Amino acid sequence: MIRIGQHEYVIPPWLGTVVPLAFGLYATLQLISSHYGSSSFPSASDYFFYVKQISTATIAGFLLIDLARRSIITWYAPLLLFLLTLGVAAVAINWFQVWANKTTMLDLGLLFALAASRPGSSTSGAFALLAGINAIPFVVGAVIALILALGCRILAGLPLLSRDTLRDFWANLAAATIWIALVFAGAFAISHWPAGYSLRLPGWVPLAGAVTVVLAATLVHLALVGRIRRRADTELNSLRSWLAALVCIAILFYSPFSFGSFGVRTLYDYVRPTLRAVHVLPTPPLRIAGYIVDVPFHDLKTNVIREMPDGSTSQVSVPFPLEYWLGGRVQIRRRDAPPDRLATLYGRIDESKELKATQDKAPDRDAVLLMSTTNYTKLAMRLIDYPDVDIMFTHFDRSTSPEEAEQALRRFLRERVRRS
């Protein structure tokens, strides 16, 4: 029920079916319109991804409309409920995915052990263990079903010690069990679809399988919930908005990606910088080889690598400040740092060696190198005024001339890099 001033509006029951299906349809259309729906080599991994995305949407839609129907909410509460249910659904699906992945790894390890066992040895205990391992997803699903049942009743202000609580749990458990069984059955069918390597899996099969599985589990869940609601208590209490807000904040800190790019930007661009400004969170210093880089710390945009034998900083990477109008990133790396592991692994050019070779030819001059690839341009410098570090300027505007980029980088070093 929605309360606006002195007026109250009852949410019609048919919305309890329409909203979850609409959320699932929206997620499906998003997948179709994205590159995920046109994979050249579709596989079971694509199927699992589709199931995850569509299931998150349908669960969020169900929780949103269910809480709205079972409590009295104000006009602004739907937005809070949207964020809450989206975050809760994403966290629940992620938890299940983590345990499902662990189950798969345990299955593979046990199967390899069985394959390596001696012929004629008893395998009954191993098969019993295998059955127990494969029960883990169902146990995790039961735990998630219980948490959702109790959490929804707490938020809606409904009593926990009632028969309706058990009915809610059984409905959630039945839907979760069917969903898990169908998900793994679908994955098995897709994995064994081709009759040999000559046949390729049609691109529409993983998405169609995911839609079928989620739709079947959702319809079963909605049917069970509909039967329960007809016998449930009709008493409505105000939604505990303060608790919903606290849960949203907890999810934002625990898993900001549950809210998509909005959650990531909110946490790392606003919340954490604000907490650092009031000294609630510590601000790690951007210090390397006796220099301090005067750039605001950002959890995602600044990077500190500690590879020195004594655990000290070997490289600092920061975004180029906007006031210089070039974009890009600046990397400051100690000259005595261990070789770049990524450069060694992927055969990339080691800028430190190139700079050393260039400066050895003219020890009294700064060494400046310009390296261009199809993706970006890199300016590498070894300066006499900074004898302990090498400086790299990457991903700046490609329309900028090398001279302008070098001048901007030297200005940055004068204004933002100082001795500690």
Each residue's pLDDT tens digit, 71-128: 888 888 889 999 999 999 999 999 988 888 887 777 667 666 666 666 555 556 666 6
Confidence of residue 147 (pLDDT cuts 50, 70, 90): very high
Percent of the chain predicted with pLDDT > 90: 20
Question: Residues 16-45: what's their mean pLDDT?
Answer: 78
Confidence of residue 198 (pLDDT cuts 50, 70, 90): very low
The strand ranges marked E within 204-327 are: 237-238, 287-288, 291-293, 303-305, 315-319
How far is residue 287's CA from residue 250's CA, in Å, rounded to a whole number? 32
Amino acid identity, position 150: L
Half-sphere exposure of 168 (CA within 13 A, CB side): 27
* pLDDT single digits (tens) 293-306: 888 888 888 888 88
Question: Residues 390-400: what's their mean pLDDT?
Answer: 82
**According to the model, what pLDDT value does residue 126 have?**
60
Q: 356 vs 343, which has greater pLDDT?
A: 356
Question: Residues 275-292: what's their mean pLDDT?
Answer: 87
**According to the model, what pLDDT value does residue 260 have?**
85
CA 70 to chain centroid, in Å, comes to 31
User: Does an H or E element contain 296, and which?
Assistant: none
Task: Answer yes or no: are the C-beta atoms of 166 and 6 closer than 8 Å.
Answer: no
Angle at 74 between CA 72 and CA 76, to 5 degrees: 140
CA-CA-CA-CA dihedral for 140, 144, 147, 150, to nearest 10: -120
**According to the model, what pLDDT value does residue 195 have?**
44
Using a 10 angstrom Cβ sphere, with 0-12 exposed, 13-18 middle and 19 or more buried, the burial of residue 220 is middle
How far is residue 334's CA from residue 355's CA, in Å, rounded to a whole number? 13
Q: Do strands 71-74 and 237-238 pair parallel, antiparallel, or not at all (unpaired)?
A: parallel
**Residue 344: pLDDT above 70?**
no
**Residue 346: pLDDT above 60?**
no
DSSP 236-263: -EE--HHHHHHHHHHHHHH-GGGGHHHH
